[in-house]
Structure 1
Amino acid sequence: MADLTDPQAVAWASYQRMRARLSGVLGRELAAATGLSEADFEVLVAVHERPDDTVRSLALRCGLEWEKSRLSHQLRRMEQRGLIIREACEEDSRGSAVRLTARGRELACEARKHYDAAVKRYVMDSLTPEQIAALAEISGILLDRIEVTHK
């Protein structure tokens, strides 16, 4: 296995620190503003982006790239808090569909505003347009590499 060069190791360590700190800051601000966890937010936004605020559980799990048990536990907690409803799936009697409640829809919209404002404040306002373009390009290259490697 090849070792990282010094510049590579420095870049990777810096990226890891930034990723962890940014994730923590965004999560804390989201929770303080809305009472939602990052997992709550991910599920609410994913469902809210679907027609009729409804998605099959399998499609949600694949879209989030979560394990079945993680999604099941998360949905149970969100259902207990009145954010989502799980229903029988019309297309597949073995599956279920997840639908936002009115409260879930309201929180999804509120959380999206807070989250986007925080991303703008911490990331986008700190970068030049050229750096934002480079970030998008680098992210795309890495995602493509991961996709090819893990097909």
Structure 2
Amino acid sequence: MSTQSVTTPRWLSAEQQRHWRAYVEGAALLSEALGRQLERDADLASTEYELLVRLSEAPDRTLRMSLIAAELAHSRSRITHTIHRMEARGFVERFACEADGRGVNCRMTDAGLAWLVQAAPGHVEAVRAAVVDVLTDDQLRALGDAMGAVRDGLRAPQKAR
């Protein structure tokens, strides 16, 4: 055992534990359900779908690889493997960043955009059925605000690096 002093953990109250477990179970079930829907109806993994969405919203449907990894909260190597699979399907292409020769950009192709346009309606309906239609407007707003705060809190240390 370490010679460091042992501090008493700040245990969760019964109510906090109930909310935490509801979040953990709900997030896992939601992720699984939405992933199954994308695989079944669009032949896409969740990360692939989210990548196509981000690229579709970017100027010239192009983002730097490092930005994609940061926004999707995945390692660069995981994003590189995902993009490699998507390149093989003709959905994206990589090329050197003109402004910085060390960087690599990823651009969505017309085929990728067409695939996303076909996949989006079914996925949006699955999101509605699983989340939007189950919650009140106030609950949805609170969920978005809460998870935004969690996201910002977890990303804050990365910004300081």
Alignment TM-score > 0.5, same fold: yes
Structure-1 separation of matches of 2:83 and 2:152: 30
Task: Report the residue type matching 1:45 in the other structure.
Answer: V
Deviation of the 1:34 alpha carbon: 0.6
Counterpart in the other structure of 2:115: 107
Asked which structure has the greater RCO (Cα within 8 Å, sep 6+), the reply is 1
- 1:43/1:140 CA distance change after superposition, 3 Å: closer
Which SS does the other structure have where 1:92 is aligned?
Answer: coil
Question: Given the two structures, how large is their TM-score scaled by the length of structure 1?
Answer: 0.89
- 1:42/1:4 CA distance change after superposition, 3 Å: same
Gaps of 5+ in 1: none
Gaps of 5+ in 2: 1-8
Note the 1:48-87 alignment, pairs <5 A.
Answer: 48-87=56-95
**Residue 93 of structure 2 is aligned to residue 91 of structure 1:** no
Which SS does the other structure have where 1:123 is aligned?
Answer: helix
Which SS does the other structure have where 1:126 is aligned?
Answer: coil
Question: Given the two structures, how large is their TM-score scaled by the length of structure 2?
Answer: 0.84
Note the 1:118-129 alignment, pairs <5 A.
Answer: 118-129=126-137
Structure-2 separation of matches of 1:10 and 1:118: 26
Counterpart in the other structure of 1:14: 22
Match of 2:55 among 47, 55, 62: 47
Max Rg structure = 2
Counterpart in the other structure of 1:26: 34
Alignment RMSD (CA, Å): 1.7
Which SS does the other structure have where 1:94 is aligned?
Answer: coil
**Count of matched residue pairs:** 151
Task: Report the residue type matching 1:125 in the other structure.
Answer: D
Q: Contact 2:132/2:140 (CA < 8 Å) preserved in 1? A: yes
